[in-house]
Structure 1
Amino acid sequence: MAAPTTLVTGIGQLVTNDPANPDASGTERLGLIERAALLIADGAVAWAGPESALPRAAVEAARTVDVGGAAVLPGFVDTHTHLVFGGDRAAEFEARMSGEAYTAGGIRSTVAATRAATNAVLAARLDGFVSELHAQGTTTFEIKSGYGLTVADEARLLALAARVTDETTYLGAHVVPPEFAGDPDGYVDLVVGEMLDACLPHARWIDAFCETGAFTPEQSRRILEAGAARGLGVRLHAGQLAPSEGVALAVALDAASVDHCTYLTDADVAALAASRTVATLLPGVEFSTRQPYPDARRLIDAGITVALASDCNPGSSFTSSMPFCIAVAVRDMRMTPAEATWAATAGGAAALRRTDVGRLAVGTRADFTVLRAPSFLHLAYRPGVPLIDAVWRAGERIV
């Protein structure tokens, strides 16, 4: 039996991210429709437009949900998370807030805790984080490995992640583990060989942390090219702690996304502007490390596609809240509320090279969030306030 259609009415403001909709206003690509309605069939958007223009014959059998004047927007698309891990690094956070500098070295403490954790413990924690994401309006999310750093551990982390998302990323190249401290190239051999073989069945993407203290541009290139040769899409951490050749590498390899982008040269900006690689910015990191924020205005003004993501991880950004990231991006990264909202939805979809999420247009998956507010502006205007009233994924309410 076919699933019943659902008609969502009483939408005070609908963010479609579809400026091509004839009823939409501009507002920096948000495709806003006032006093709107959504028609959902078989988990996808069947119609979006002003409620006054509803095709009545098409909705006679629909169940109706009235949201009472609330704003509705696409579900958030969080394209950078590290959600499968053991342990806690609250003491590290306290030390950093007391003046100690952030380095990537704390990752190794999480590696030790993760290796010691059972699959049951890791799965239970992961399910809790997924519930957090959903409760804050996120309907599509990526998960990286990277806290195992052995063949068996990286494979099991990705297998656990694949239970809850299709967007899984093999990050064996997170840092060099202690047992390879004197032989980083030997570890790279493992990452591109036996470890890649074990992780390939569970991964869609490959990533590397191209940074001082992690992997050189040459090592990163070798790792990413090995994954690409096996059919994995390319992503890259770069420019978090200092300028490097990482952004140029990402563009050269046609990476879907280069993430962090805190430190960029003029050449980096020009390369990104001439490419289809998305610059994914992670404001939770700078909030939690007191590093300088990326200059989103510089990127946007250069015509670069920008995404926002949480980078939820136990060390440098232990937040799963995309509304929080929007508020920080507006306050500290020189983004407008419309730009930040677009970056957290359609921008994230671009960073995953997907067209079925991040928008509310005919044929896209019916993933959307209902706010306890009349406008998307309130996501930045009311930071820290629980504004998510309901969350729908593939046409079914999940929150």
Structure 2
Amino acid sequence: MTATLVTGIGELVTFDPAHRGPLGLVQDAALLAVDGRVAWTGPGTSAPREDADEVVDVGGAAVIPGFVDSHTHLVFAGDRATEFEARMAGRPYTAGGIRSTVAATRAATDDELRRRLARFVAELYVQGTTTFEVKSGYGLTVADEQRLLTLAGEVTDETTFLGAHVVPPEFADDQEAYVDLVTGPMLDACAPHARWIDVFCETGAFTVEQSRRILSAGAARGLGVRVHAAQLGPGEGVALAVELDAASVDHCTYLSDDDVERLAASRTAATLLPGVEFSTRHPYPSGRRLRDAGATVAIASDCNPGSSFTSSMPFCIALAVREMGLTPAEALEAATLGGAAALRRDDVGHLRPGARAHLAVLAAPTYVHLAYRPGVPLVARTLRAAR
């Protein structure tokens, strides 16, 4: 048994109702982790120092739960900076740019993809993200989707089969044949390497009927359901996600009143991706509207080369506060507890006893600085399992 005591915490966010307010705040705090799990939190003056094998003093810094980034696309090759530059000059975003990344990814070796993936994971950790999901979706052949999921599985248990990202060029004249491939041989090859199945239910990608068929096939193989929906315009994707008890419906840029009511009455988290609206110049969805209705709200980076090439959860928090109507406390909750809900995890995203001792130590006196000082590298130290 190994016990680590983290002391000198100026402000500790636990989300533990035993402490103050909705964030479970403790001032001048300490945290004891035993075998990588939170065993105790409270005032530093009451810290059980005699139980600790190791003491880590953070010198008055604020400490928060590690971020839970529930939506990323980290396994890919190539670059789409030219596309971004054109968008900033006025060209609208469409789903078609994905195909250029597919071509580059198919041509890359496993070692090339693995090295790039390692760099992205390092970016996540240095910015306070301790739990993250990774999707496939840039291979779109049986062999390539399987290898992308295999690589993703080397860095996270939260792997998502996204063979239904777009229809690849070779199936442009027969989309149903591609759906047959996704729900048949591709699912057979990929299901053993995935925890989740996802689909881009959107104009230019997959219809609601195709999406239902794909997601139902994945669920029948024991995969949890996730959905990309309502990014480019209103549609039936949110209703489908709720119907299938999806863990999360992601983007939620264009929601009807009925969509908001459905989400509020369901277990499905609404995952907002503020980096996308920043990069595509689409309107930001209202997190305030969802929160006030009672829906579960998550924030994720959607790190990908086309529509949101950021791995920074602090940046996404700042955008959510400035552009989506969330308070700093609500945005932090969405980036931690909300992300955990979007992955149906109860062991991360908080620092209650029994949780994984995943912490972000801030070079700041309070979590509010995550939104107050946007663009500043405020994560001084990241600890996973208190190490």
Residues 317-375 of structure 1: CA distance to partner in whole angstroms, max 9, x if unpaired? 00000000000000011100000000000100000000000000111100000000000
Following superposition of structure 1 onto structure 2, how do residues 128-207 of structure 1 map, counting pairs within 5 Å?
A: 128-207=119-198
Q: TM-score, normalised by structure 1?
A: 0.96
| Residue in structure 2 matched with residue 328 of structure 1 by the alignment | 319
User: For 1:75 and 1:85, how far apart are their aligned partners in 2?
Assistant: 25
| Residue in structure 2 matched with residue 11 of structure 1 by the alignment | 9
| Residue in structure 1 matched with residue 229 of structure 2 by the alignment | 238
Query: Structure 1 residue 65: deviation in Å?
Result: 1.1
User: What is the DSSP-based 3-state SS (H/G/I as helix, E as strand, rest coil) of the residue aligned with 1:280?
Assistant: strand
| Residue in structure 2 matched with residue 42 of structure 1 by the alignment | 35
Preserved CA contact (<8 Å) 2:234 2:254: yes
User: What is the DSSP-based 3-state SS (H/G/I as helix, E as strand, rest coil) of the residue aligned with 2:303?
Assistant: coil
Preserved CA contact (<8 Å) 2:339 2:349: yes
Following superposition of structure 1 onto structure 2, how do residues 212-361 of structure 1 map, counting pairs within 5 Å?
A: 212-361=203-352
User: For 2:135 and 2:112, how far apart are their aligned partners in 1?
Assistant: 17
User: For 1:268 and 1:212, how far apart are their aligned partners in 2?
Assistant: 17
User: For 2:312 and 2:66, how far apart are their aligned partners in 1?
Assistant: 12
Computed over aligned residues only, the root mean square deviation of the Cα atoms, in angstroms, reads 0.7
Query: Structure 1 residue 218: deviation in Å?
Result: 0.4
User: For 2:274 and 2:304, how far apart are their aligned partners in 1?
Assistant: 13
Q: TM-score, normalised by structure 2?
A: 0.99
Is 2:47 aligned against 1:54? yes
User: What is the DSSP-based 3-state SS (H/G/I as helix, E as strand, rest coil) of the residue aligned with 2:177?
Assistant: helix
User: What is the DSSP-based 3-state SS (H/G/I as helix, E as strand, rest coil) of the residue aligned with 1:193?
Assistant: helix
Q: Which residue of 94, 119, 122 corresponds with 2:110?
A: 119
Letter of the structure 2 residue corresponding to residue 268 of structure 1: D
| Residue in structure 2 matched with residue 387 of structure 1 by the alignment | 378
User: For 2:386 and 2:25, how far apart are their aligned partners in 1?
Assistant: 20
User: What is the DSSP-based 3-state SS (H/G/I as helix, E as strand, rest coil) of the residue aligned with 1:293?
Assistant: coil
Preserved CA contact (<8 Å) 2:5 2:49: no
User: For 1:96 and 1:297, how far apart are their aligned partners in 2?
Assistant: 27
User: What is the DSSP-based 3-state SS (H/G/I as helix, E as strand, rest coil) of the residue aligned with 1:105?
Assistant: helix
Preserved CA contact (<8 Å) 2:77 2:113: yes
Letter of the structure 1 residue corresponding to residue 33 of structure 2: I
Q: Unaligned 5+ residue runs, structure 2?
A: none
User: For 1:30 and 1:348, how far apart are their aligned partners in 2?
Assistant: 15
Residues 213-246 of structure 1: CA distance to partner in whole angstroms, max 9, x if unpaired? 0000000000000000000000000000101000
User: For 1:268 and 1:385, how far apart are their aligned partners in 2?
Assistant: 36
Query: Structure 1 residue 56: deviation in Å?
Result: 4.8
Query: Structure 1 residue 55: deviation in Å?
Result: 3.5
Kindly report structure 1 stretches of 4+ aligned residues shifted beyond 4 Å. Answer: none
Query: Structure 1 residue 54: deviation in Å?
Result: 2.3
